[in-house]
């Protein structure tokens, strides 16, 4: 289905502010008839339908049937298409708190509004062409941002730069696909000799642009969005739980002098220089006959394989001063623990003490460096959602497949598939399921 601006008429209503005691609560109405609903809640001389767009005024709100006086409120009038949703809309600012707002919402429903679904206002904004899907996703990411960096990236995506860029790629893919389809109508020899080489050159150039975006996501985007998974592993008693606690600055994992206490993995989140980190403390790695512990070790190995970064811990006191350091697998930092018990740090490895805190800042810096970040650099990725990254990846694969094909019919199919992936990112191509999966994560009232 293509995103042709749809007219969504039915007025919907929701409380747009968070529940609980607060200065004000905002009840939002959108859709044709919203102002007429407002008319039923006020005295005749205060009817919002008689006010011009942008008016902000005070009136007492009544229940439409019982005429019970509910609250007094400020009313803000919007007329289509100049509103968030692009529709006629009304905002009622009443006293804060759960009940005043709920009573006003119930009155709006009694006057003919339907309760809005999560994200329905933003979905209508999308359907009315007010924003593309990358902007809609950015709104959700901005509202739920937990770190300064997530907020900055989401806010800049909200301005639409990514959408514009992807739209450009989408149009190139559509253009190429149309060109190839058009060429199918010609007989062999009727096309310019240079046509195949030129088309493949263009497809390859497009694939490169798409790849560059995917790469920036791999490097930074998913770290900002989902957080980096940093897995702490090592032999029992090397100080894994102690390091997790020291990094978190509070006691979460059980620290015990008996080996093999942390049988199941413990995951905790914290923020390192604006990057959310998911720190995973694992079962100790050692040969064991205990079945539960063995399961834990298998799970550890799996966690290590999936980690963005592994911290491999070795007890510094168990190493002879000049002993060679163990080799570490890729994506792994070797961390020597219990520095306070050792005669001194080793120059050739990161040494930390969870007890005194020595070396923990350096460890933090090393983690950031490893994750492709420096203390000052902003996130280079413009992509904030895994959905966008997956569609880009798929588009790149279709483009590459197209390049390898000799059959023009198959090649055209691949190009069309690539264009659809790009189109879905911005919503030039969408299905009901796609919209549901995006907007169901929104809060009600947004």
- The footprint of ligand GDP (CB under 6 A) covers 236-242, 255-257, 261-262, 284, 337-338, 340-341, 353-355
CB of 259 to ligand GDP, least distance (A): 6
**Where do the H-state alpha helices sit in 217-336?**
222-225, 240-248, 291-306
Q: What distance in Å separates the CA atoms of residue 421 and residue 254, rounded to the nearest whole number?
A: 46
Residue placing its CB nearer to ligand GDP in the complex, 297 or 418: 297
Q: Which is it for the CA torsion 123, 125, 128, 131, positive or negative? A: negative
Residue placing its CB nearer to ligand GDP in the complex, 97 or 236: 236
Residue placing its CB nearer to ligand GDP in the complex, 293 or 340: 340
CB of 381 to ligand GDP, least distance (A): 34
Could you tell me which residues are beta bridge partners of residue 312?
233, 334
Closest CA to 223 of 304, 272, 267, 277: 277
Residue 66: Cβ within 10 Å count:
10
Q: For residues 32, 33, 34 and 38, what is the CA-based torsion angle, rounded to 10 degrees?
A: 160
| Region for residue 254 given its phi and psi (left: phi exceeds 0; alpha: psi -120 to 50; beta: otherwise) | beta
CB of 277 to ligand GDP, least distance (A): 18
Closest CA to 438 of 380, 368, 388: 388
Residue placing its CB nearer to ligand GDP in the complex, 258 or 432: 258
Residue placing its CB nearer to ligand GDP in the complex, 55 or 256: 256
3-class SS at 234?
Answer: strand
Residue placing its CB nearer to ligand GDP in the complex, 85 or 353: 353
Residue nearest to ligand GDP (CB): 239
Q: How far apart are the first and last CA of the chain?
A: 24
Q: By CB neighbour count within 10 A (0-12 exposed, 13-18 middle, 19+ buried), where does 21 fall?
A: exposed
Which residue is listed with tokens 């902003």? 378
CB of 157 to ligand GDP, least distance (A): 40
Q: What share of the chain is helix, strand, coil (3-state, %, to 5)?
A: 45, 15, 40
Residue placing its CB nearer to ligand GDP in the complex, 224 or 253: 253
CB of 263 to ligand GDP, least distance (A): 10
Give the Å distances, CA to CA, from 133 to 85, 210, 445.
14, 18, 18
**What count of Cα atoms within 13 Å lies in the side-chain half-sphere of residue 33?**
12
CB of 340 to ligand GDP, least distance (A): 5
Residue placing its CB nearer to ligand GDP in the complex, 234 or 423: 234
| Residue 140 in tokens | 């959700």
Q: Parallel, antiparallel, or unpaired for β 89-95 and 266-272?
A: unpaired
CB of 358 to ligand GDP, least distance (A): 9
Could you tell me which residues are beta bridge partners of residue 71?
61
Query: 387 Cβ partners below 8 Å, 6+ apart?
Result: 137, 425, 437, 438
CB of 326 to ligand GDP, least distance (A): 16
CB of 252 to ligand GDP, least distance (A): 12
Q: Parallel, antiparallel, or unpaired for β 69-78 and 56-62?
A: antiparallel
Residue placing its CB nearer to ligand GDP in the complex, 76 or 311: 311
CB of 296 to ligand GDP, least distance (A): 12
Residue placing its CB nearer to ligand GDP in the complex, 316 or 422: 316
């Amino acid at each position: 289905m293509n995103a042709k601006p749809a007219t969504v008429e039915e007025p919907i209503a929701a409380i747009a502010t968070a529940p609980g005691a607060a200065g004000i609560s905002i009840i939002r109405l959108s859709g044709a008839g919203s102002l007429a609903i407002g008319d039923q809640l006020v005295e005749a001389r205060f009817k919002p339908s008689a006010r011009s767009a942008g008016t902000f005024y005070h009136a007492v709100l009544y229940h439409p049937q019982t005429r019970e006086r509910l609250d007094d409120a400020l009313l803000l009038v919007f007329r289509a298409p100049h509103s968030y949703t692009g529709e006629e809309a009304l905002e009622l600012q009443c006293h804060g708190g759960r009940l005043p707002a709920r009573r006003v919402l119930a009155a709006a429903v009694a006057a003919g509004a339907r309760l809005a679904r999560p994200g329905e206002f933003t979905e209508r904004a999308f359907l009315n062409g007010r924003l593309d899907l990358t902007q809609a996703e950015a709104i959700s990411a901005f509202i739920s941002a937990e770190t300064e960096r997530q907020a900055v990236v989401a806010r800049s995506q909200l301005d639409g730069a990514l959408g514009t860029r992807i739209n450009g790629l989408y149009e190139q893919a559509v253009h190429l696909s149309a060109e190839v389809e058009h060429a199918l109508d010609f007989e062999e020899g009727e096309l310019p000799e240079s046509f195949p080489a030129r088309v493949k050159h263009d497809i390859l150039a497009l694939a490169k642009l798409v790849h560059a975006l995917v790469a920036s996501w791999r490097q930074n985007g998913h770290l900002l969005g989902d957080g980096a998974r940093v897995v702490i592993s090592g032999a029992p008693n090397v100080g894994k739980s102690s390091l997790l606690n020291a990094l978190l600055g509070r006691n979460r994992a059980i620290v015990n002098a008996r080996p093999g206490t942390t049988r199941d993995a413990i995951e905790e989140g914290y923020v390192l220089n604006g990057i959310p980190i998911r720190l995973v403390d694992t079962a100790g790695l050692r040969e064991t006959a205990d079945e539960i512990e063995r399961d834990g070790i298998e799970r550890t190995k799996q966690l290590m394989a999936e980690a963005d970064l592994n911290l491999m811990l070795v007890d510094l006191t168990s190493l002879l001063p000049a002993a060679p350091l163990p080799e570490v697998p890729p994506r792994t930092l070797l961390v020597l623990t219990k520095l306070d018990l050792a005669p001194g740090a080793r120059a050739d490895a990161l040494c930390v003490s969870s007890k005194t805190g020595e070396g923990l800042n350096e460890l933090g810096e090393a983690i950031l460096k490893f994750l492709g970040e420096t203390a000052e650099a902003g996130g280079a990725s413009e992509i904030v959602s895994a959905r966008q990254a997956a569609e880009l990846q798929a588009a790149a694969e279709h483009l590459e497949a197209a390049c390898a094909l000799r059959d023009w019919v198959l090649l055209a199919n691949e190009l069309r598939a690539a264009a659809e992936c790009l189109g879905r990112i911005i919503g030039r191509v969408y299905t009901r399921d796609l919209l549901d999966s995006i907007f169901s994560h929104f809060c009600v009232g947004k």
